[in-house]
């Protein structure tokens, strides 16, 4: 029972990271109707930047901030310089271009930093402390919950309470009508990419210290897990992304805990297959005509 | 999209197809003669590179059928190659009979491809890409899960007999690889020219119309996957022969991405494009490596090729205004806008 | 005398063949001009070219003395042009209130929506309902209300009566006439329902195969039986 509780909290902590990353994927899907296959590579790139700043200045938090801001910038640049010029009439075009970006980013990172694993320290202790005599959560886990929670709250406020959020949603749901009402649709798209990438960078910074280390391919499996979470929740549902993320986190942690860590990647694949074949629209999606 | 072809085109295409039916055999014969000649002329390292191109051609040809002609984007063919490679390795280490080993590798990979294909037939666009991406990322980790058999990251060595007579190893490798490649090209060429090819294209261009015309959409898509998987298994087995070893590190995610890049840049939907792609897959890293050696940087090696491939892929996709669709070289009727 | 909106020799289309040929018309301040004609005559294309959704291949559109060539669609609402497109364009994933707010977003000071809710009481009682939950008549009110929230001087309205019961159509036409009289709003009204349109319009323009077949005062047009038979079907 103790083990189960411990795994549950561990799973929720991992799940929170998947939720954040899945949110990044959902944000871009809602805005641009494409799955950003380069999101993992983009997050790794900003993580490298962040950790470089940390080693140069000795401050983790400065590096953390640099990574997030780097995400904002990278997202905006990718949208303006590359994605804007892709012919979106076929969904495959965006996928292939994103894969090209993955190659570029991983190649450049390898050239600058090399392909060995670099150690990445966590800002807080990862030792679980005791609650009622059971080792459940670590300080780091609490930090993860707080960070992801803050992101969810901030994004919700942005989209439901602010004019900018309204503009972004309108631009995503009905671009032509929005233009007629004076909404700068192109600018809103860039902003959407920037925010999504920043969220992805946050997720990256949260997960790296729990992995083997920093490496150009470090986020490949995270992408798959988050993609699974996003599909599970429904690609156009932010609530679904969060729920999906937590579910995937729990499932993977239970599988690792009871069957060994080696089996975890297989579990992701099986889960993805089950979701794609069983309920491809996801649990929370509402397929509907966007204007009427 | 016309389902019934007008008379004039039919006669023309029949004439063309008679002419075309002759040429795959001709091309293969000429190709074989060319390769054999080259292997006597080239130095050993170039023969090795020639052999590698041949091995790549097997898988790029199969991918051309799957992605170019049938419109299914697979990011997981590197993992299918790994399946073929490991099957061959395990067989060779027990039995050391190359030809049956290769056949077995193809069969096993075909079976795996059928399973993935059955799942994939129901998926479209980013969902299919995501699934195959997951396959590419996850399958290499199976070597760790069952590390008794697969020996985890260190991989396995492949037992091989030396070539017959006094033929140098690299020349022998080139012959094996190109025999396989030309055979594959020949089989695929005939498949493409026949009913199968028409069905593939019909499903890619307009599923509903194809269904109405009586084409079994799911069956066509699974078959396309199976055919391309067989090709990938063959290529993987050849890779095992070339490297005389297998390891998960030889089949990373980037390999799958390279394969996609190769057929996109080579031009989708034509076997000649597959040949261009296979050539690029060997030539570009080679160029990158010599640049890296001149620069004296260890980091550059490999990563320069990655970056280069990525840049070329993005530029090709952006420059072709219709994206993947416009890279298909056969003429299509433009659909008028409503 | 320059009118608020002047369209001169406008030619536009999608792809190779133009849909509009050399169209000339004008809308004065505080005037309602009805654009009539059969399906495919080019009425919707005309509105889309005026608001910039479709670039013109020849001719020009001048609004309040300003040549609109090359002006981005997003800027139109700032100049005072609001376009309610074919199909209304109510954003179904947003609430009634959010749709209305969208109309006023371009303004530095966000306008109060009470005026709009006063004009359309049914919307007030459904302000937090999502767009897709509204009936056809309510959606039309929402689309017009949203355009009015942008405080336009010229309203481009594409087939407001489509799919609506006669009673609601009547209410909407009365509303337009009322707005013209009270606030000096100018309207370029595309309509299939000729009787309703001519009943409130000052002027009528008949399009046939993309060309202007007739341009008359509304009452003259309504009385001209030959014209009606030839182009309008009754």
- Three-state secondary structure of chain A: CHHHHHHHHHHHHHHHHHHHHHHHHHHHHHHHCCCCCCHHHHHHHHHHHHHHHHHHHCCHHHHHHHHHHHHHHHHHHHHHHHHHHCCCCCHHHHHHHHHHHHHHHHHHHHHHHCCCCECCCCCCCCCEEEECCEEEEEHHHHHHHHHHHHHHHHHHHHHHHCHHHHHHHHHHHCHHHHHHCCCCHHHHHHHHHHHHHHHHHHHHHHHHHHCCCECCCCCHHHHHHHHHHHHHHCCCCHHHHHHHHHHHHHHHHHHHHHHCHHHHHHHHHHHHHHHHHHCCCCCCCCCCCCEC
| DSSP 8-class letter at C156 | E
Q: Give domain status of residue A6, yes or no.
A: yes
Tell me the nearest-neighbour CA distance from C97 into chain A, angstroms. 11
Segment B237-296, tens digit of pLDDT: 999 999 998 988 889 888 999 999 888 888 777 888 899 899 999 998 888 888 877 777
* N-to-C CA span, chain A: 53
Segment A6-41, tens digit of pLDDT: 889 889 999 999 999 999 999 999 998 889 999 999
Distant-in-sequence contacts of A45-48, Cβ < 8 A, 24+ apart: A45/A70, A45/A74, A45/A105, A45/A108, A45/A109, A46/A70, A46/A71, A46/A74, A46/A197, A46/A201, A46/A204, A46/A205, A47/A120, A47/A201, A47/A204, A47/A205, A47/A208, A47/A214, A47/A218, A48/A109, A48/A112, A48/A113, A48/A214
> Across the interface, do A106 and B306 touch by the CB < 8 Å criterion?
yes
> Across the interface, do B336 and C14 touch by the CB < 8 Å criterion?
no
Place B326 in a pLDDT band, splitting at 50, 70 and 90.
low
Segment A169-182, tens digit of pLDDT: 999 999 999 999 99
Enumerate residue ranges in chain C where pLDDT < 50. none
Write down the residue that tokens 């890779």 correspond to: B239
Q: Where are the beta strands (DSSP E) in chain B?
A: 156-157, 245-246
Q: Are A120 and A208 in contact (CB under 8 A)?
A: yes
How wide is the angle at C-alpha A43 spanned by C-alphas A38 and A47, nearest 5°?
150
Place B330 in a pLDDT band, splitting at 50, 70 and 90.
very low
| The pLDDT value given to residue C186 | 95
Task: Give the mean model confidence (pLDDT) for residues A52-58.
Answer: 90
Separation of alpha carbons A8 and C227, rounded Å:
78
| The pLDDT value given to residue A290 | 47
pLDDT of A285 > 50? The answer is: yes
Separation of alpha carbons A176 and C85, rounded Å:
9
> Across the interface, do C90 and A291 touch by the CB < 8 Å criterion?
yes
Kindly state whether A187 is in contact with chain C, defined as any CB-CB distance less than 8 angstroms. Answer: no
> Across the interface, do A228 and B134 touch by the CB < 8 Å criterion?
yes
**How many alpha carbons lie under 13 Å from residue A174 in its C-beta half-sphere?**
24
Q: Closest Cα partner for B75 from B129, B139, B111?
A: B129
Structure tokens at C6: 């002047």
Place A288 in a pLDDT band, splitting at 50, 70 and 90.
very low
| The pLDDT value given to residue B338 | 33
Separation of alpha carbons A2 and A44, rounded Å:
34
pTM of the model: 0.87
Give B-chain residues touching A111 at CB under 8 angstroms.
Answer: 297, 299-300, 303-304, 307
Segment A90-117, tens digit of pLDDT: 778 889 999 999 999 999 999 888 888 8
| The pLDDT value given to residue B207 | 83
The phi and psi torsions of C33 (rounded to 5 degrees) equal -115, 125
Chain C residues with a Cβ under 8 Å from any Cβ in chain A? 51, 53, 72-78, 82-83, 85, 87-94, 98, 101-103, 105-106, 110, 131-132, 139, 146, 150
Give C-chain residues touching B337 at CB under 8 angstroms.
Answer: 14-15
CATH fold of C5-91+139-232 reads Rossmann fold (3.40.50)
Give C-chain residues touching A160 at CB under 8 angstroms.
Answer: none
More confident residue, A48 or B147: A48
Three-class secondary structure of residue B245 per DSSP: strand
State the pairing for strand pair C32-36/C203-208: parallel
- As to burial, measured by CB atoms within 10 angstroms (0-12 exposed, 13-18 middle, 19+ buried), residue B14 is exposed
| The pLDDT value given to residue B298 | 67
Structure tokens at A278: 């069983």
Parse chain C into domains and list their residue ranges: 5-91+139-232
Write down which chains contact chain A via at least 3 CB pairs under 8 A: B, C
Of the ranges A66-80, A127-141, B172-186, which is most confident?
Answer: A66-80
- Return the residue of C nearest to B336 by Cα: C15
Kindly state whether A289 is in contact with chain C, defined as any CB-CB distance less than 8 angstroms. Answer: yes
Task: Give the mean model confidence (pLDDT) for residues B184-212.
Answer: 88
Tell me the nearest-neighbour CA distance from B331 into chain A, angstroms. 18
Residues 6 or more apart whose CB falls under 8 angstroms from that of C214 comprise C204, C205, C206, C221, C224, C227, C231
What interface predicted TM-score (ipTM) does this complex get?
0.90
pLDDT of B334 > 60? The answer is: no
Number of domains in chain A: 1
The overall average pLDDT reported for chain B is: 83
Separation of alpha carbons A58 and B95, rounded Å:
58
Q: Are B89 and B238 in contact (CB under 8 A)?
A: no
Write down the residue that tokens 């090729």 correspond to: B305
> Across the interface, do C83 and A163 touch by the CB < 8 Å criterion?
no
Place A1 in a pLDDT band, splitting at 50, 70 and 90.
confident
Name the helix (H) or strand (E) containing C209: none
Separation of alpha carbons B265 and B327, rounded Å:
8
Write down which chains contact chain B via at least 3 CB pairs under 8 A: A, C
Q: Are B192 and B273 in contact (CB under 8 A)?
A: no
Tell me the nearest-neighbour CA distance from C73 into chain A, angstroms. 6
More confident residue, A210 or A242: A242
Range of the domain at A8: 2-126+136-217
Separation of alpha carbons C26 and C10, rounded Å:
12
Segment B5-54, tens digit of pLDDT: 344 444 444 444 444 555 888 888 988 998 888 888 888 888 899 999 99
Give A-chain residues touching B73 at CB under 8 angstroms.
Answer: 92, 95-96
Place B321 in a pLDDT band, splitting at 50, 70 and 90.
low
């Amino acid at each position: 029972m103790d083990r189960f509780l411990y795994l549950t909290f561990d799973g929720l902590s991992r799940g929170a990271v998947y939720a954040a990353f899945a949110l990044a994927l959902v944000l871009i899907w809602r805005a641009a109707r494409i799955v950003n296959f380069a999101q993992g590579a983009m997050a790794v790139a900003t993580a490298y930047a962040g950790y470089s700043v940390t080693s140069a200045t000795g401050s983790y938090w400065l590096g953390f901030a640099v990574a997030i801001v780097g995400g904002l910038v990278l997202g905006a640049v990718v949208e303006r310089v590359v994605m804007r010029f892709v012919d979106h009439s076929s969904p495959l075009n965006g996928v292939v271009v994103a894969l090209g970006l993955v190659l570029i980013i991983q190649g450049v990172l390898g050239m600058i930093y090399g392909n060995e694993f670099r150690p990445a320290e966590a800002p807080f202790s990862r030792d679980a402390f005791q609650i009622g005599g059971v080792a459940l959560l670590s300080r780091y886990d609490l930090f993860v919950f707080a960070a992801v929670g803050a992101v969810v709250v901030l994004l919700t406020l942005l989209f439901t309470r602010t004019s900018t959020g309204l503009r972004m949603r309108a631009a995503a749901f009905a671009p032509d009508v929005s233009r007629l009402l004076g909404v700068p649709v192109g600018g809103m798209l860039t902003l959407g990419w920037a925010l999504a990438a920043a969220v992805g960078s946050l997720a990256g910074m949260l997960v790296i210290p729990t992995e083997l280390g920093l490496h150009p391919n470090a986020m490949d499996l995270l992408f798959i897990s988050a993609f699974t979470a996003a599909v599970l929740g429904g690609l156009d549902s932010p609530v679904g992304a969060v729920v999906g993320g937590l579910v995937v986190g729990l499932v993977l942690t239970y599988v690792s805990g009871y069957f060994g860590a080696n089996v975890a990647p297989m579990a992701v694949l099986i889960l993805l297959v089950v979701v794609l074949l069983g309920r491809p629209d996801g649990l929370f999606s509402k397929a509907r005509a966007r204007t009427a | 999209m016309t389902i019934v072809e007008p008379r004039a085109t039919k006669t023309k295409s029949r004439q063309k197809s008679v002419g075309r039916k002759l040429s795959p055999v001709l091309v293969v014969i000429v190709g074989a003669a060319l390769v054999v000649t080259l292997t006597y002329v080239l130095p050993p390292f170039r023969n090795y590179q020639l052999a590698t191109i041949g091995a790549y051609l097997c898988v790029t040809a199969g991918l051309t059928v799957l992605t170019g002609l049938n419109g299914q984007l697979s990011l997981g063919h590197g993992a299918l190659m790994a399946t073929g490679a490991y099957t061959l390795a395990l067989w060779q280490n027990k039995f050391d009979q190359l030809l049956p080993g290769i056949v077995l590798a193809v069969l096993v990979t075909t079976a795996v491809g059928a399973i993935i294909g059955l799942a994939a037939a129901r998926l479209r666009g980013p969902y299919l890409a995501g699934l195959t991406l997951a396959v590419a990322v996850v399958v290499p980790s199976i070597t760790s899960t069952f590390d008794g058999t697969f020996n985890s990251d260190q991989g396995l060595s492949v037992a091989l007999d030396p070539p017959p007579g006094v033929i140098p190893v690299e020349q022998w490798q080139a012959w094996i690889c190109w025999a396989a490649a030309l055979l594959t090209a020949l089989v695929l060429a005939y498949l493409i020219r026949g009913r199968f090819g028409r069905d593939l294209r019909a499903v890619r261009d307009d599923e509903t119309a194809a269904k109405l015309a009586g084409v079994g959409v799911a069956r066509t898509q699974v078959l396309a996957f199976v055919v391309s998987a067989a090709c990938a298994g063959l290529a993987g087995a050849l890779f095992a022969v070339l490297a005389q070893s297998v390891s998960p590190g030889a089949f990373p995610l980037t390999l799958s991405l390279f394969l996609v890049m190769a057929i996109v840049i080579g031009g989708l939907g034509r076997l000649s494009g597959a040949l261009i792609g296979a050539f690029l897959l060997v030539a570009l890293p080679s160029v990158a490596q010599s640049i890296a050696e001149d620069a004296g940087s260890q980091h550059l090696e490999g990563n320069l090729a990655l970056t280069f491939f990525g840049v070329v892929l993005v530029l090709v996709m952006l420059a072709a205004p219709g994206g993947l669709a416009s890279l298909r070289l056969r003429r299509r009727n433009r659909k008028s806008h409503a | 005398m320059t009118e608020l909106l002047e369209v001169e020799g406008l030619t536009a289309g999608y792809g190779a063949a133009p849909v509009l040929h050399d169209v000339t018309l004008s809308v004065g301040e505080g005037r309602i001009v009805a654009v009539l004609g059969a399906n495919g005559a080019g009425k919707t294309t005309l509105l889309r070219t005026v608001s910039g959704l479709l670039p013109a291949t020849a001719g020009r559109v001048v609004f309040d003395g300003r040549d609109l060539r090359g002006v981005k669609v997003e800027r139109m609402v700032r100049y005072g042009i609001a376009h309610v497109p074919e199909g209304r364009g109510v954003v179904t994933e947003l609430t009634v209130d959010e749709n209305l707010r969208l109309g006023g977003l371009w303004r530095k000071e966000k306008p109060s929506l009470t005026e709009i809710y006063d004009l359309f009481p049914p919307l007030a009682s459904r302000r937090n309902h999502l767009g897709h939950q509204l009936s056809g008549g309510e959606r039309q009110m929402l689309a017009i209300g949203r355009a009015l929230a942008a405080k336009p001087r010229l309203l481009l309205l594409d087939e407001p009566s489509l799919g609506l019961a006669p009673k609601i159509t009547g209410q909407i036409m009365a509303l337009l006439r009322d707005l013209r009289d009270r606030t000096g709003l100018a309207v370029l009204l595309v309509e299939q329902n000729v009787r309703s349109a001519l009943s409130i319009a000052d002027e009528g323009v008949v399009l046939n195969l993309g060309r202007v077949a007739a341009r008359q005062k509304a009452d003259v047009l309504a009385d001209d039986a030959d014209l009606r038979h030839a182009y309008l079907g009754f």
